[in-house]
């Protein structure tokens, strides 16, 4: 997977300015916009709602069955502390060539200017276990990797100050029940 430099385009994606992440003594992660504004100030990085990964996980499994890769980009709304996941335009020729277009060329929608690129979500490649730091995107953020050999397993890496560190995914994901879940649970009796 590669994230090419920005080729000439008339589209500037403010959200791709990214963030820097600093690990605090408390264990919290402080996220700062790379290009701060009056509205975009540093804040503690909130956990990612796991429900955001449901549909992307299905598409990742589908493409993996065809020996192709996809990469989603994780954006963080610094004003309100919310996560968003985007599927940018990309080219996946085979498992060895995969290019993500950070300019969102020919895309109908782009991330909002208040968002900042703060991570990625994709499949763990065949190199991940052998040389995992080299397979992690080289920008600060939360990078999640679905393990093809075990679909229920995620590997999580935080890159803070350019340094990758494996973390327990549960520390950065939050599972909340929604209204549909609560409705379904009415049919379950626990004893």
The ranges assigned to domains in the chain are: 14-185
Topology of the domain comprising 14-185: Cytidine Deaminase; domain 2 (3.40.140)
Terminal CA-CA length for the chain: 48
86, pLDDT greater than 90: yes
65, pLDDT greater than 90: no
10, pLDDT greater than 70: no
- In this structure, are residues 33 and 78 in contact, taking their beta carbons and an 8 Å threshold? yes
Q: Model pTM? A: 0.85
Most confident of 45-59, 97-111, 141-155: 45-59
All residues at 6 or more sequence positions from 115 whose CB lies less than 8 Å from its CB, including other chains: 15, 75, 76, 77, 78, 84
Question: Cα–Cα distance between 11 and 31 in angstroms, integer?
Answer: 25
Buried b (16+ CB within 10 A) or exposed e, 48-67: bbbebbeebbeebeebbeee
């Amino acid at each position: 997977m590669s994230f090419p430099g920005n080729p000439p385009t008339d589209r500037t994606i403010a959200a791709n300015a990214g963030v820097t992440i600093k690990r605090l003594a408390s264990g919290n992660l402080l996220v700062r916009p790379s290009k701060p504004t009056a509205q975009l100030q540093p804040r503690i990085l909130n956990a990612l709602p796991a429900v955001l990964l449901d549909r992307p996980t299905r598409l990742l499994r589908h493409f993996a069955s065809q020996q192709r890769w996809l990469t989603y980009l994780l954006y963080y709304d610094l004003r309100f502390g919310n996560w968003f996941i985007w599927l940018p335009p990309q080219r996946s020729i085979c498992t060895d060539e995969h290019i993500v277009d950070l300019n969102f060329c020919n895309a109908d929608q782009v991330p909002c200017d208040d968002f900042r690129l703060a991570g990625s979500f994709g499949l763990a490649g065949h190199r991940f276990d052998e040389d995992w730091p080299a397979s992690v995107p080289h920008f600060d953020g939360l990078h999640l990797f679905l393990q093809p050999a075990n679909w229920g397993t995620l590997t999580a890496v935080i890159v803070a100050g350019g340094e990758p560190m494996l973390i327990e995914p549960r520390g950065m994901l939050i599972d909340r029940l929604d209204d549909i879940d609560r409705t379904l649970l009415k049919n379950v009796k626990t004893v």
